[in-house]
Structures are given as C-alpha cells and as structure tokens.
C-alpha cells in the first residue's frame, strides 16, 4: 500500500449519534421510523405509515450515544491505529428544518468537538454532508423533487465548509447518490406511493441533487482550495444471469443506470444513454442550460464508494430466487455465500468493481464502506468474529490485487467502526462493528464498548500497512 494510505473506519451521524432532540436538532427520516412491529421496511418506502404511528422505541433517538461518548469512541479508533474517520454531519443539527436563515450554533459546536478530538490523534475526518439526513420538514413538500432543496443544501454546505475549513480536508457531498433511484425515500425524501410518476420524481430529484452537489463543490473550493471533495456511489458490479445476450444487455443497462449520476459528478455531463432513457420512459425533466454549465464546471476530486457485494440480473427474472442487498435486491447468485441477513459475499466482484470504476473515471478511489453484518451476542467477552475477519481479509486481498492491476485507491474504511443502527432494518441487532456495543433492540444495555477479535486483526493490518493480512 502507498505510504500515506488512509486506513479508516466508517460511521454515519444518525446511525451513531443519538441525541435526536438535543441542542436544537431537527428531525430526519430515521427519527420517525422504528423497527418495532417490523414495519421499518414498509416505512422506508412510505413514510406516511411511520408518521401515523407512535412506536414504543425509536433506535435512532439515542442510537449508541456517540453524541456524548465520542471522546471514548475516537480514543478506541486511535488505539486501533486508524488514519481516517469517515462520518457525516447531520444536516438537521445545523439547519433543523432546512429553511432557517441562521445555523444552529450548538450543532456546529458539537462537530467542532468531534473533529478536534480526531485531530488530537492525527485522525483525518472524512465527512459526508448528507448521509440520508435531509431535514424531515422537506418531506411534506415532496423532498428532493423540489428545486428549492438546492439552495437549502448550498447554504448548509457553505456554513459547514466555512466553519470547519481548517479541520476537515476530505468531504463527500451526498452518500450513495444512486440510492435515490432505488429507494427514493431514503435517498431523496420522495415518497413513491404518493407519486403519479415515480420515475419522473426520482430522476428530477437526482438532477437537483447533482446541481446541489456541484454548487457545493464550487463554494467549497472557493473557501479552501485544498479541500478534496468527492462523490459517493453505492457500488457493486451487476452480472448477467447467463451468457444469453438478453441477460447481458440487461446487466449492461443496470450498470449504466447506477453509473449515470456518478458520470455527471466526475465528467460533468450525463452519459450518452441518459437522454434515450428519458425519452423511452417519457420523462420531461427540468434541466436548464445553466444547470449543465454548473455541472460541467464543478466536478469531484475523488470517487468514494461503498461495496458490499455484486448484483445479478436477468431479462426474465420472475421465477428466479432473490437475495438481499444494500440498494436494490438482486437475484441470488448460486456461486456466492450469504450472511445472516441474506446478503451475498463476492470479494472478486470488489476487484472487478474497483477496476471498472477506475477505468471509467481515472480518479482516485476511496472505499468508505465495506463490511459484514451478523447477529452477535456478548457476555462481555470479546466476540470471536472470524466470519467478519474472513470477509474483510478476502476483500482486502482483492483490493491489493486491484492496486496491483493499476487502480489508484487512496483509502479504505470498513463499515462500521463500531456497532451502530442499521440503515435498512433500523436495528442494532444487525451488527457490522469492529467494536461491540452493549445495546439491544428494545434499548436495553449498558452501551459499553468491547473490541471484537476483528478489531485486533485490523489493528495488525493497519500497523503493517496491509502487509499482514
Ligand atoms: C449503506 C449505507 O448503503 O449500507 C449505510 O450508506 C448502511 O448507511 C450500510 O448502514 C449497510 O446497510 P444496512 O441497511 O445493513 O445498515
């Protein structure tokens, strides 16, 4: 690995912090959905279901209390040896409804403290501006399909870029920007069950997110030209189910769909297939000449990505078995093993994905999420998570292969530094962490942090700069 490789760990604000009502914070989607009664999955497609209910317990209200425990948590990350902490700012802590003219000072002060704690240990904060945290107030006006959101986002970006210009160098604008195409509510606060034309709403929302991201880059570079500002893709190569050309064409189209938004962030223009896709679907988007100039002039410095697995598609999928995944569900690949939650594992797909991304974009890649979830219980002994070590080991082997292939990778941050609330299930039960957190799905537990076996394994990987795998 290169000498200054950014070995890291990853978290996100609303999955870790808690403090949902503290110090003037506004609400985000996570604060009004709950895993209780297993309605989370429905609620993440139709937020009205969650808004109409009062649940017994909302995991994100306290989450793992990173809000108060960040000094201990960052110390544990420092002892792990990380050079980078990939986290996010909860937008609603800074502008509770999004529309305020003045930011919330208490929210800004919290992230000052977090970033200062990182810098104390020479840990580089790598900060996402919006990790599924658009202020909830915007849901009632249709989410990101409103052009108004661009101004709100730019105002917020300007505030935090100005405030943290000497503390944070690495930024990403929008987490998994392609998420809006598969889960418009999670990615864009757009409720598909309320839309007469879901494609129109989500592609419009995606375009406004792209313009907002580009304008943020413009402002960020003016505030500090040394900022490194990236995009962030939910990545994972899509395979054809067979060598039937109809399956191959389907896989090609799926890959193009996932890359389309990243193409804009890297190259400043939509791919050649985009207009034809809009025409075929009969979509008419509000895309102005001025928007296109903004996109062309303000592209990213690096490509951040999450990778959990590859995906599989077929031209005729109806009778084929499906598997879980972090964006779309996928067909089940008979060559791949699955974890406790039905997500499949494909380290070689990681090498393919990294090569594809690099060959398409020729920009440094930063792996800001990669990890393995499992059901785990601890009686305060360290968890012997050999399966997670196996997953991370196999992916790091393929990452090294990709680097040997010629791919420029600047960092790697497994998801997640410690157990946090899962984005899709809303449960702590779905654990990804290198550090166990004593908390259950009813909110019981001491919140004590106990490093797992994978923590010590990763510590050795970092200390040897990837030599000891
Ligand atoms: C990514 C998200 O899609 O997947 C994270 O950026 C999320 O926020 C991660 O936690 C794992 O997904 P889940 O649903 O298992 O928590």
The residue whose CA is least distant from atom 2 of ligand 1 is: 423
The reply to whether ligand 1 has any atom less than 6 angstroms from the CB of 326 is yes
Atom of ligand 1 at shortest distance to CA of 371? Answer: 11
Q: Rounded CA gap, 5 and 137, in Å?
A: 40
The residue whose CA is least distant from atom 9 of ligand 1 is: 423
pTM of the model: 0.96
Please state, in angstroms and as integers, the Cα–Cα distance from residue 228 to each residue in 234, 267, 407, 412, 462, following that order. 19, 16, 19, 16, 23
Q: How many CA atoms lie within 13 A of 448 on its CB side?
A: 9
The reply to whether ligand 1 has any atom less than 6 angstroms from the CB of 438 is no
Q: Rounded CA gap, 321 and 331, in Å?
A: 6
Continuous H helices in 241-374: 245-267, 272-281, 289-297, 347-361
Q: How many CA atoms lie within 13 A of 27 on its CB side?
A: 13
Task: Give 243 Cα–ligand 1 centroid separation in angstroms.
Answer: 31
Cβ-proximal residues to 160 (8 Å cutoff; 6+ apart), any chain: 89, 94, 108, 111, 127, 129
Q: Rounded CA gap, 144 and 132, in Å?
A: 12
Q: Give the pLDDT of residue 364.
A: 98
The reply to whether ligand 1 has any atom less than 6 angstroms from the CB of 430 is yes
Q: How would residue 57 be classed by pLDDT, with cut points 50, 70 and 90?
A: confident
How is residue 121 annotated by DSSP? Answer: T
Q: Rounded CA gap, 35 and 424, in Å?
A: 9
Mutate which of 369, 388, 418, 441 for ligand 1 pocket (most atoms within 8 A of beta carbon)? 369
- Note the pLDDT tens digit of each residue in 185-196: 999 999 998 999
Average pLDDT for the chain: 94
Cβ-proximal residues to 362 (8 Å cutoff; 6+ apart), any chain: none
Closest C-alpha among 373, 370, 372, 376 to residue 439: 376
Which residues are known to be catalytic? 176, 369
Question: In DSSP terms, which residues pair with 124 in a beta bridge?
Answer: 84
Q: Which two tokens stand for residue 97?
A: 């409804």
CA 191 to chain centre: 20
What is the residue-wise DSSP string for 215-255? HHHHHHHHH-TT-EEEEEEEE-PEEESSS-HHHHHHHHHHH
Task: Give 219 Cα–ligand 1 centroid separation in angstroms.
Answer: 29
Mutate which of 326, 367, 417 for ligand 1 pocket (most atoms within 8 A of beta carbon)? 326
Atom of ligand 1 at shortest distance to CA of 343? Answer: 15
Strand pairing report for 228-235 and 170-174: parallel
The answer to which of 1-5, 161-165, 170-174, 306-310 has the lowest mean pLDDT is: 1-5
Q: Give the pLDDT of residue 419.
A: 97
Q: How would residue 40 be classed by pLDDT, with cut points 50, 70 and 90?
A: low
Q: How would residue 343 be classed by pLDDT, with cut points 50, 70 and 90?
A: confident
Does residue 328 or residue 98 have the better pLDDT?
98
Q: Give the pLDDT of residue 382.
A: 86
Instruction: Answer yes or no: is pLDDT of 38 > 60.
Output: no
Q: Give the pLDDT of residue 442.
A: 86
Q: Rounded CA gap, 366 and 235, in Å?
A: 12
CB 257 within 8 A of CB 206: no
Share of the chain above pLDDT 90, in %: 84
Cα dihedral 391, 394, 397, 403 sign: negative
Q: Which two tokens stand for residue 442?
A: 């009813």
The reply to whether ligand 1 has any atom less than 6 angstroms from the CB of 175 is yes
Mutate which of 43, 178, 415 for ligand 1 pocket (most atoms within 8 A of beta carbon)? 415
3-class DSSP assignment, residue 442 = coil
The residue whose CA is least distant from atom 5 of ligand 1 is: 423
Q: Rounded CA gap, 208 and 300, in Å?
A: 16
Task: Give 225 Cα–ligand 1 centroid separation in angstroms.
Answer: 31
Q: Rounded CA gap, 465 and 42, in Å?
A: 43
Q: Rounded CA gap, 381 and 451, in Å?
A: 9
Task: Give 432 Cα–ligand 1 centroid separation in angstroms.
Answer: 10
Task: Give 291 Cα–ligand 1 centroid separation in angstroms.
Answer: 30
Q: Which two tokens stand for residue 184?
A: 């418009």
Q: Give the pLDDT of residue 41.
A: 57
The reply to whether ligand 1 has any atom less than 6 angstroms from the CB of 176 is yes
Q: Give the pLDDT of residue 49.
A: 78
- Note the pLDDT tens digit of each residue in 444-463: 999 999 999 999 999 999 99
- Note the pLDDT tens digit of each residue in 16-28: 999 999 999 999 9
Task: Give 198 Cα–ligand 1 centroid separation in angstroms.
Answer: 23
The residue whose CA is least distant from atom 7 of ligand 1 is: 423
Q: Rounded CA gap, 170 and 259, in Å?
A: 22
438: number of Cβ within 10 Å: 18
Task: Give 423 Cα–ligand 1 centroid separation in angstroms.
Answer: 5
């Amino acid at each position: 690995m290169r000498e200054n490789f950014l070995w890291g760990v990853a978290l996100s604000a609303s999955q870790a912090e808690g403090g949902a009502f503290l110090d003037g914070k506004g609400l985000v989607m996570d604060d009004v959905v709950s895993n209780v009664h297993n309605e989370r999955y429905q609620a993440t497609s139709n937020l009205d279901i969650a808004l109409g209910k009062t649940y017994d317990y909302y995991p994100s209200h306290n989450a793992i209390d990173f809000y108060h425990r960040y000094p201990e948590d960052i110390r544990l990350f420092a002892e792990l040896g990380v050079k980078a902490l990939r986290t996010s700012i909860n937008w609603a802590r800074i502008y509770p409804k999004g529309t305020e003219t003045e930011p919330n000072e208490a929210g800004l002060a919290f992230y000052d403290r977090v970033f200062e704690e990182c810098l104390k240990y020479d840990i580089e904060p790598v900060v996402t501006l919006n990790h599924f945290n658009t202020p909830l107030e915007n849901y009632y006006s249709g989410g990101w399909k409103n052009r108004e959101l661009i101004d709100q986002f730019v105002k917020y970006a300007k505030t935090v870029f100005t405030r943290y210009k000497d503390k944070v160098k690495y930024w990403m604008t929008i987490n998994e920007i392609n998420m809006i195409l598969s889960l418009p509510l999670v990615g864009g606060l757009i409720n598909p069950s309320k839309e007469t034309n879901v494609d129109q709403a989500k592609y419009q929302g995606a375009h406004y997110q792209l313009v907002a991201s580009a304008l943020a880059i413009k402002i960020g570079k003016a505030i500090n030209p040394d900022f490194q500002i990236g995009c962030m893709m939910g990545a994972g190569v899509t395979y054809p189910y067979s060598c039937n050309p109809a399956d191959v064409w389907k896989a090609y189209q799926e890959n193009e769909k996932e890359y389309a938004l990243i193409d804009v962030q890297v190259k400043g223009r939509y791919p050649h297939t985009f207009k034809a896709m809009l025409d075929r679907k009969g979509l008419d988007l509000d895309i102005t000449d001025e928007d296109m100039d903004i996109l062309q002039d303000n592209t990213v410095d690096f490509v951040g990505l999450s990778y959990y697995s590859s995906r599989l598609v077929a031209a005729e999928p109806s009778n084929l078995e499906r598997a879980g995944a972090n964006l779309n569900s996928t067909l089940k690949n008979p060559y791949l093993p699955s974890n406790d939650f039905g997500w499949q594992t494909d380290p070689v797909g990681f090498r393919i994905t990294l090569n594809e991304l690099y060959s398409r974009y020729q920009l440094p890649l930063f792996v800001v999420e990669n990890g393995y979830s499992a059901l785990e219980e601890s009686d305060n002994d360290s968890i012997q998570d050999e399966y997670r070590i196996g997953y991370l080991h196999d992916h790091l082997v393929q990452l090294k292969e990709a680097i040997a292939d010629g791919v420029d990778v600047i960092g790697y941050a497994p998801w997640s530094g410690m157990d946090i609330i899962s984005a899709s299930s809303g449960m702590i039960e779905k654990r990804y962490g290198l550090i166990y957190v004593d908390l259950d799905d009813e909110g019981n537990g001491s919140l004590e942090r106990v490093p797992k076996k994978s923590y010590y394994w990763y510590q050795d990987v970092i200390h040897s700069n990837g030599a000891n795998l």
